[in-house]
Amino acid sequence: MTAAAGLLACQPGEQQAGAMTNKSSGAEAATPLGQWRIVEINGQPARSANPQAMPRLSIGSPKYGDQSGCTEFGGTALLHEERLYSSWLEADAKGCGKLDAQQSALFKLLTSAPTLRGTGTGRLTLSAGPSSMVLERIGPARKVLPDPAPKMQLAGTRWQLTGANGELITTAANSPAILQFEAEQWTWSASCGTWSGEWQQNGSALRLHGRGPPPSCNGNAFASALQEMIGGALAYVVGPNDQLVIAGKGNFIVGQFTRFTDQQEHSLLTGKWLVRAIDGRAPNVSPTPPNIIFSKASYGVWDGCNHTEGVYLTYGRQLLTRDSGLSTLANCLPERVSPQVPAIVGSSPQIARTKNGLALISSRGRLDLKRIPARSYPDAARSGLRPGMQIGLVTSAGPARLDLTQPRRFKVILPCGVLQGQWRSGQPARFNLDPVERHAPDCLRTQADLADRMHAMFQGEVQAAVDGNNEHVLLLNRHEVLAGRVAGR
């Protein structure tokens, strides 16, 4: 694959279902979601280099793409303000010959925030300035559901910006344009200056407020787009390859998720934290107020009455936990207990800075924390995997097992077959999975989703946390998480 801009291509039509049809219901005609034949581009009939590869556009959210008439392409789409806001597109690495001009026109239009206008006859027109495209529905739209919570909360995240308003922008490696979100404050920084302000998020809706005038960044496309979007009703989406699209008021910016270092995340979190507020309200009063302790790889939660514990890892300021299943069972008065504290800790919250400490923020709620002095706590939990381990894994398809008993080789034993490959211990451990087709073809045929997930989990760097009893295990590869239990325990 080669990038027309930086996004791994999605599989065409992945989000649509059902047989192809030329008929469309009134509900389908009212939404751009679905499969479309490209009828014409800029007034000219769309052509195809292969009769079996007619020009198509499959619009999902957040993934979209399909067939230009020459190559497959894909990207991340945000549907907002009756426009299609797009990340940069990626296409197969091959020339299109006589169809190069058609493909270039298609890509330019799709990355120019085109407006969407339905005709009520199963057709859809996309237009941006002098460019336009006419689509004809050939497949049903997915059922239109209420706007779901985004895949990723923005609090505690950092993004390297790559484009604004359809313009691909490259910056020097030592001075990238960065957009960072903490609990209440956003900050944009570039070689020409820094700008910040307050922000609010409600689902996928977003609103930015600037603090003071923007820096003098003449000609900087990021600064210009942000300035136009300030105060507007914005929306955002995070695509499957961690690309961000924020849009509103006819402007948009595109960015790529970038991590903080493990050391930065660890030093930010370790220690003892008093729970100052739960969703903006003080916790229930108890003799010992709710608090959380984070050690090297383990954590403990006191909800005002009972104690729970487990192991944790972080990735991109997201807290991932594995509850040990053990808890004290004191019979306390309800008004002394704050059960939301362990619930939010266990909901994979984002970790964000506040003026007075940290906030843990997820779809379950928000905890505001203040660091308090505490003695150093011994931590029997450890990081990393060791040769000889066998770990029972929890998967949606049933029990599975990770076998590390062979030198430098591993096996993942699934209900549908055995995946295997090479690995190297450490934190993180390094895994290199053999081709699935060679060892577990049945997984591709009968449990493709499970095979894809295991491939994502055991390809590349895998962090691990094991509790002090050498019993409970948490595995993490980027945003992919698996819980497990050491065999024989």
Angstrom distance (rounded) from CA 136 to CA 32 = 11
User: Is there a single domain that holds both residue 163 and residue 239?
Assistant: yes
Residue 449 lies in a domain: yes
What is the rounded average pLDDT for all residues in the chain? Answer: 85
- Please report the pLDDT score of residue 174 as a whole number: 62
Q: What is the three-class DSSP state of 183?
A: coil
Comparing 4-8, 16-20, 481-485, which segment has the lowest mean pLDDT? 16-20
Cα 338 to Cα 13, 287, 288, 360: the distances in Å are 45, 13, 12, 15
Report how many domains make up the chain.
4
| pLDDT per residue as tens digits for the range 199-227 | 999 988 999 999 988 888 877 888 899 99
Average pLDDT over residues 370-386: 81
Residue at a domain's end among 139, 167, 197: 139
Comparing 119-128, 257-266, 333-342, which segment has the lowest mean pLDDT? 257-266
User: Is there a single domain that holds both residue 76 and residue 177?
Assistant: no
- Please report the pLDDT score of residue 173 as a whole number: 59
User: Is there a single domain that holds both residue 128 and residue 164?
Assistant: no
Confidence class of residue 331 from pLDDT cuts 50, 70 and 90?
A: confident
User: Is there a single domain that holds both residue 234 and residue 338?
Assistant: no
User: pTM of the full predicted structure?
Assistant: 0.84
Comparing 14-28, 78-92, 180-194, 317-331, which segment has the lowest mean pLDDT? 14-28
H-helix or E-strand spanning residue 269 = helix 262-269
- Please report the pLDDT score of residue 329 as a whole number: 80
User: Is there a single domain that holds both residue 287 and residue 235?
Assistant: no
User: Is there a single domain that holds both residue 246 and residue 278?
Assistant: no
User: Is there a single domain that holds both residue 12 and residue 131?
Assistant: yes
Structure tokens at 46: 């769309």
Q: Amino acid identity of 422? A: Q
User: Is there a single domain that holds both residue 292 and residue 248?
Assistant: no
Domain span at residue 172? 158-257
Average pLDDT over residues 270-283: 96
Residue 144 lies in a domain: no
Residue 433 lies in a domain: yes
How far is Cα of residue 144 from the mean position of the Cα atoms in its chain?
21
Average pLDDT over residues 462-472: 91
Q: Beta strands of 203-281 (E only): which ranges?
A: 205-210, 234-238, 243-248, 251-257, 271-278
Burial class of residue 390, CB neighbours in 10 A (0-12, 13-18, 19+): middle
CATH number at 121 reads 2.40.128.270
Residue at a domain's end among 85, 104, 139: 139
- State yes or no: pLDDT of 135 exceeds 80: yes
> Residue 235 in contact with residue 206, Cβ under 8 Å?
yes
Residue 214 CB contacts under 8 Å (≥ 6 apart), including other chains: 193, 195, 223, 226, 227
Residue whose C-alpha is closest to residue 344's, from 297, 279, 295, 273: 279
- Please report the pLDDT score of residue 470 as a whole number: 87
- State yes or no: pLDDT of 326 exceeds 60: yes
User: Is there a single domain that holds both residue 42 and residue 106?
Assistant: yes
Structure tokens at 218: 């003449």
Confidence class of residue 23 from pLDDT cuts 50, 70 and 90?
A: very low
- Please report the pLDDT score of residue 43 as a whole number: 95
